[in-house]
């Protein structure tokens, strides 16, 4: 067991526990965006910053990736943390203002406007979809391509992936598109799998143990009948 | 390399007298290579799409399991083909057991990799800070205008590819333009046409005396960091680079011209053509050996540290005129 102090409260956790998990165990709220239970921590959004150590030598670290250390002093809501977190929310809002998830985080932190040039990106590069696809769906169909401002999510050679299972998990976990394709508007349909008479997943043994994330996917409904 | 064992030793290029390329599978059998100072990416005989799964598989197996092996694999493939063919990347994914998207992600992350075939000649215009303030953007624009392509593109006849790079580690010589591994320092817009013309004629035939791409470098031992320069024995008017060499049972000194682009050497013993030399630092006696192989003949390259950052690599084979001014090490 590892003993540490979070906001002055003593807590002991197992080795390997992250600061985020320890704080959540104590019921302390920390906003997160790229973190998702069941996926490896990634530390992309920096929203979950906390302050560790004693001022003036304290530092900001991302709690979702930082493992608990013996005797560590952590503050999850110091003035410095809140300032940093608000700035990050403003930056997220500047990129993807349409995201309900980001709007909710902003509201919870009482951020009402942002000071940066407004953009309308359709991806915040949190990597949730990539990790979902690789770790839970064991498909590895999508990933990051390019670098810097050209970085984006895509399939190899920007062509239809041969290994995508059309499970929809990537869309389901995306905090920005928040798109559950239901084929209500055919022109916006993602893959056409439901309109396809041979759905990609039904009656294929390799998908038997798969968790499916497409909420009402027509293919399964047809099969039930 | 054993993958080439099935390749006939008589190269059709002997008859045509064509240029030697980096790309073709006849590489080890090609007799032109030792006569050329620097190879081009595609020779006249190169057919697009010619690639061999065995060759790529050989590159992959050489680095499989190494830490950071993927980068070495991609470098190897790019060195062979000048770009990363899609089929090669698929083979890498298959043989390393990684997902294709991982490989694609790495291939698109690094600027050194390209997924598109490049032209026969590659022009890199430095627009790093030091070159930028010396009017490099105008030079880059002039290249764009004269070639009719944007950076990152290749002319329709596949003659030229243009790219802009951020600092080549030779800022003092800026604005600097590198064409097919040849450095042109202090370029102004008026010289652009001349550089393009020279490239088309073939840079390797340019006379050393009139050629401004030849400039002196000052080099150091990578191990003890002591200078290898020998001011008492100048070659071509500049201090020579002195090293000790051994080959067979012979052991002696070798002096190289310090002019980058010149190949004049003096040595204690007569070195037969095609001998691969072991090269040592005369001060600390460490062998000057690197991890890379010569892109032309496959012999080990010898790294020398250049004053001011960067590294020059020379081929250890007598008669092979390959050398690379490698700037990737300049940040370190
Ligand atoms: S639909 Fe499923 S398999 Fe396809 S990219 Fe998304 S998560 Fe990966
Ligand atoms: S597509 Fe969505 S889930 Fe994937 S990285 Fe972008 S914002 Fe995150
Ligand atoms: S199967 Fe239909 S509903 Fe499901 S993602 Fe594809 S288009 Fe949308
Ligand atoms: S709901 Fe059924 S048919 Fe539809 S995607 Fe999921 S597993 Fe496949
Ligand atoms: S939740 Fe920790 S960095 Fe995104
Ligand atoms: S900026 Fe051009 S070489 Fe450094």
The single-letter DSSP state of residue A202 is T
Residues of A in contact with B104 (CB under 8 A): 143, 145, 156-157
Once rounded to an integer, what is the mean pLDDT over residues A24-44?
Answer: 93
CB of B199 within 8 A of CB of B38?
no
Locate the domains of chain B by residue range. 2-109, 121-201, 215-326
Measured in Å, residue B147 CA sits from the centre of ligand 4 at 53
Residue B134's pLDDT is 92
Residue A221's pLDDT is 60
CA distance B103 to B19: 33
pLDDT at A187 over 60: no
In chain A, whose CA is at the least distance from the CA of B105?
A145
pLDDT digits (tens, 9 = 90+) for A108-159: 999 998 999 999 888 899 999 999 999 998 888 899 999 888 899 988 888 8
Once rounded to an integer, what is the mean pLDDT over residues A178-185?
Answer: 51
Q: Which atom of ligand 3 is nearest to the CA of A189?
A: 7
* Partner A contacted by B152 (CB < 8 A): no
Measured in Å, residue A175 CA sits from the centre of ligand 2 at 7
CA dihedral (A99, A103, A109, A111) in degrees, to 10, reads 110
Residue B173's pLDDT is 83
Among B137, B174, B186, say which to mutate for ligand 6: greatest number of ligand atoms within 8 Å of CB: B174
* Partner A contacted by B102 (CB < 8 A): yes
- What is the reported pTM? 0.61
Is pLDDT larger for residue A49 or for residue A211? A49
* Partner B contacted by A24 (CB < 8 A): no
CB of A76 within 8 A of CB of A48?
no
CA distance B319 to B151: 35
Measured in Å, residue B129 CA sits from the centre of ligand 6 at 6
Indicate the average pLDDT of chain A. 83
For residue A142, give how far its alpha carbon lies from the nearest alpha carbon of chain B (Å).
6
Among A35, A44, A102, A128, say which to mutate for ligand 2: greatest number of ligand atoms within 8 Å of CB: A128
Locate the domains of chain A by residue range. 2-108, 128-224
Residue A81's pLDDT is 95
Residue A186's pLDDT is 53
Residue B117's pLDDT is 77
Ligand positioned closest to the Cα atom of A212: 4
Provide the residue-wise pLDDT of chain B in tens; the chain has 332 residues: 334 433 334 444 444 444 555 555 455 444 444 444 455 555 555 544 456 777 888 888 888 877 778 999 998 888 777 788 888 899 999 888 889 999 999 999 988 888 887 777 888 899 999 999 999 999 999 999 999 999 888 888 778 889 888 888 888 887 999 887 778 888 999 889 888 888 877 665 444 334 445 567 788 887 787 888 888 888 877 788 888 888 878 888 888 888 776 777 888 888 888 888 888 888 888 888 776 777 677 788 888 877 765 677 788 888 776 666 654 333 33
The CATH number that domain B121-201 falls under is 3.40.30.10
Backbone φ and ψ of B267, nearest 5°: -145, 160
Contact criterion met (CB < 8 Å) for A143 and B101: yes
Helices (H), B97-187: 100-109, 129-133, 136-147
Residue B313's pLDDT is 78
- Tell me the CATH number of domain A2-108, given options 3.10.20.740, 2.60.40.420, 1.10.8.60, 3.40.47.10: 3.10.20.740
Q: Which residues of B92-109 are buried (b: 16+ CB within 10 A; e: fewer)?
A: bbeebeebbbbbbbbbbb
Q: Which residues of A99-108 are buried (b: 16+ CB within 10 A; e: fewer)?
A: bebbbebbee
Q: Which atom of ligand 4 is nearest to the CA of A210?
A: 7
């Amino acid at each position: 067991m590892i003993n540490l102090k979070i906001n002055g409260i003593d807590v002991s956790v197992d080795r390997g526990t992250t600061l985020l998990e320890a704080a959540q165990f104590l019921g302390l709220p920390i906003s997160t965006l790229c973190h998702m239970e069941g996926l490896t921590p990634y530390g992309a959004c920096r929203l979950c910053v906390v302050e560790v150590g004693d001022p003036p030598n304290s530092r900001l670290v991302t709690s979702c990736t930082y493992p608990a250390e013996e005797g560590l002093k952590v503050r999850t809501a110091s003035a410095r943390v809140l300032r940093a977190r608000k700035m990050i929310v403003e930056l997220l809002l500047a990129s993807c203002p349409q995201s309900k998830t980001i709007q909710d985080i902003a509201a919870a932190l009482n951020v009402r406007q942002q000071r940066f040039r407004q953009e309308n990106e359709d991806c915040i590069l949190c990597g949730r979809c990539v990790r979902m696809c690789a770790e839970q769906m064991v498909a590895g169909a999508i990933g990051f391509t390019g670098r810097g401002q050209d970085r984006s999510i895509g399939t190899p050679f920007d062509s239809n992936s041969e290994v995508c299972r059309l499970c929809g998990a990537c869309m389901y976990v995306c905090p920005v598109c928040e798109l559950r394709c239901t084929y209500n508007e055919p022109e916006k349909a993602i893959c056409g799998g439901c309109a396809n008479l041979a759905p990609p997943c039904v009656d294929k043994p390799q998908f038997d143990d798969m968790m499916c994330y497409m909420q009402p996917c027509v293919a399964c409904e047809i099969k039930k009948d | 390399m054993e993958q080439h064992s099935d390749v006939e030793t008589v190269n059709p290029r002997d008859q045509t007298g064509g240029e030697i390329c980096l790309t073709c599978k006849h590489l080890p059998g090609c007799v032109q290579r030792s006569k050329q100072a620097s190879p081009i990416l595609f020779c006249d005989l190169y057919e697009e799409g010619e690639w061999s799964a065995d060759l790529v598989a050989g590159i992959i197996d050489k680095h499989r399991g190494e830490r950071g092996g993927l980068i070495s694999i991609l470098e190897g493939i790019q060195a062979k083909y000048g770009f990363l063919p899609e089929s090669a990347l698929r083979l890498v994914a298959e043989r390393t057991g990684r997902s294709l998207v991982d490989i694609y992600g790495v291939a698109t992350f690094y600027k050194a990799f390209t997924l598109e075939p490049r032209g026969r000649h590659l022009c890199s215009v430095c627009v790093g800070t030091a070159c930028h303030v010396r009017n490099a953007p105008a030079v880059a624009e002039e290249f764009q205008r004269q070639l009719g392509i944007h950076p990152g593109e290749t002319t329709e006849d596949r003659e030229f590819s243009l790219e802009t790079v951020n600092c080549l580690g030779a800022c003092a010589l800026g604005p600097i333009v590198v064409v097919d591994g040849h450095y042109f320092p202090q370029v102004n817009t008026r010289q652009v046409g001349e550089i393009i013309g020279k490239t088309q004629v073939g840079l390797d035939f340019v006379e050393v005396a009139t050629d401004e791409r030849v400039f002196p470098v000052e080099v150091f031992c990578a191990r003890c960091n002591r200078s290898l320069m020998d001011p008492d024995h100048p070659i071509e008017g500049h201090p020579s680079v002195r090293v000790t060499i051994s080959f067979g049972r012979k052991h002696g000194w070798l002096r190289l011209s310090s002019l980058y682009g010149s190949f004049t050497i003096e040595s204690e013993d007569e070195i037969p053509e095609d001998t691969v030399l072991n090269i040592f630092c005369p001060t600390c006696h460490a062998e000057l050996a690197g991890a890379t192989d010569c892109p032309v003949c496959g012999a080990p390259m010898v790294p020398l540290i250049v004053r001011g950052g960067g590294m020059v690599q020379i081929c250890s084979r007598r008669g092979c005129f390959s050398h690379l001014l490698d700037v990737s090490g300049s940040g370190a």
